[in-house]
Amino acid sequence: MIININNIEVNKRELLHLINNGTKLNAIKLVRDKTKMGLKECKDVIDNLSDDSNIYDGKIYVPETNFKVPIEKLKELRQGTEVIL
């Protein structure tokens, strides 16, 4: 069983095994190593799987982000200037 997290395939069976054996931290580390997502997003994935093991079946999970762009950069974007974040 594979789930797609942030367009990266992760072995769902392995995650559920870690969760059910009381090693959620190892499951979080596995997701983080595979996806390079932040700690909170990885914890959310594991908490969601812990609550409902079928939550990601047939879906692609893309975490919400709180990435903030400085207002100066937004002004540059509006002017059509190339912006490096």
Query: What distance in Å separates the CA atoms of residue 42 and residue 36, rounded to the nearest whole number?
Result: 9
Q: How confident is the model at residue 11 (pLDDT cuts 50, 70, 90)?
A: very high
pLDDT at 16: 96
- For 16-54, what is each residue's pLDDT tens digit? 999 999 999 999 999 999 999 999 999 999 999 999 998
Task: Quickly state the pLDDT bin for 69 (edges 50, 70, 90).
Answer: low
B/e letters for 52-65, b = 16+ CB within 10 Å, e = fewer, are eeeebeeeebeeee
CA distance 15 to 1: 10
Q: Which residues contact 10 (CB under 8 A, 6 or more apart)?
A: 2, 3, 4, 30, 31, 34, 35
Instruction: Give pTM, 2 decimals.
Output: 0.70
